[in-house]
Amino acid sequence: MKKYGNIFILTGAGISAESGLATFRAANGLWNNHKVEDVATHEAFLRNPAYVHDFYNELKLELNKAQPNPAHLAITKLQKEYTGANISVITQNVDTLHEKAGNQNIYHIHGVINQAVCLNCGHILETWGDVDTETICPQCQVQGMMKPNIVFFGEDLLYMNQVDTLLRKCDLFLSIGTSGVVFPAAAFVQTAKYYGADTVEFNLEQTSNNFYFDKHITGPAGTTLPAFVDELLKK
Ligand SMILES: [Zn+2]
């Protein structure tokens, strides 16, 4: 393999599933056994903010307990040992397994479970404690305006300007545990390929025939990614 200078790593639910978070945002339209329209839309939040807060407070407890797996740790190893390269992690996951594994340059494009955003002043409150309709914003002191910093359906993804820049610059694009035919992975790989990146997809099973990927690697990412990283490090 050649030497790369800018590596873009996109991760999705598949990488967290190997840490036991398999029920999260499942294909049956349920989000941790709740209907998406009850807990992950702006309308739901306006209608019943207490219910939505309860859901994320509970989810926060569950995600706080989860531990990173060898796929997350392989990214740490790559970032530490593959010197001279900018390596960014762009994740669709709202858990903090990348952080727990010691990854750097992480962009949570769907938001992250241990943050709430003040709808009055924009302050981001980082906490593993409960946030609810009584919570007072530490910046503007207004009560009851905190929203989980989770991108609800119909809302824009976060960090899209930075992501676009990283996509244009990258010479290696890795997609791990996310369907290569569904937004955003499908759009991201297309941009990366257009600007000349080598592109590799890691999935449990081959789910996509997206021809923007040069290579599809199938199997658990906890096995396939460490092997791939070791290959990269040999060069
Ligand atoms: Zn505020």
User: How far, in Å, from the CA of 89 to the mean position of ligand 1?
Assistant: 29
> What is the rounded CA–CA span in Å between residue 175 and residue 92?
11
Q: Which residues in 123-151 are b (16+ Cβ under 10 Å) and which e? A: bebeeeeebeeebebeeeeeeebbbbbbb
Catalytic residue from among 98, 108, 110, 216: 110
111-118 vs 146-150, strand pairing mode: antiparallel
pLDDT at 205 (0 to 100): 84
> What is the rounded CA–CA span in Å between residue 129 and residue 94?
16
Beta strands in the chain (DSSP E): 6-11, 30-31, 34-35, 86-91, 106-108, 111-118, 124-126, 146-150, 172-176, 198-203, 215-218
User: How far, in Å, from the CA of 106 to the mean position of ligand 1?
Assistant: 24
User: How far, in Å, from the CA of 71 to the mean position of ligand 1?
Assistant: 37
pLDDT in tens, the chain (235 residues): 679 999 999 999 999 999 988 655 545 556 667 888 889 899 999 999 999 999 999 999 999 999 999 999 999 999 999 999 999 999 999 999 999 999 999 999 999 999 999 999 999 999 999 999 999 999 999 999 999 999 998 899 999 999 999 999 999 999 999 987 778 888 999 999 999 999 999 998 876 678 899 999 999 999 999 999 999 999 7
pLDDT at 180 (0 to 100): 78
SS3 215: strand
User: How far, in Å, from the CA of 134 to the mean position of ligand 1?
Assistant: 13
> What is the rounded CA–CA span in Å between residue 90 and residue 201?
14
Residue 72 bears catalytic tag: no
- For the chain, residues classed under CATH 3.30.1600.10 are 33-65+112-150
> What is the rounded CA–CA span in Å between residue 79 and residue 72?
11
pLDDT at 208 (0 to 100): 66
Give CA angle at 165 (4, 90), nearest 5°.
75
Instruction: Look up residue 62 and give its two tokens.
Output: 């569950």
SS3 4: coil
- For the chain, residues classed under CATH 3.40.50.1220 are 1-21+67-110+156-235
Nearest to 140 by CA among 169, 108, 118, 107: 118
User: How far, in Å, from the CA of 124 to the mean position of ligand 1?
Assistant: 8
CB 230 within 8 A of CB 77: no
What is the CATH class of 1-21+67-110+156-235? alpha beta
User: How far, in Å, from the CA of 61 to the mean position of ligand 1?
Assistant: 24
User: How far, in Å, from the CA of 44 to the mean position of ligand 1?
Assistant: 21
Give CA angle at 43 (150, 139), nearest 5°.
50
What's the CA dihedral at 133, 139, 142, 146 to 10 degrees? Answer: -30
CATH T-level topology, domain 33-65+112-150: SIR2/SIRT2 'Small Domain' (3.30.1600)
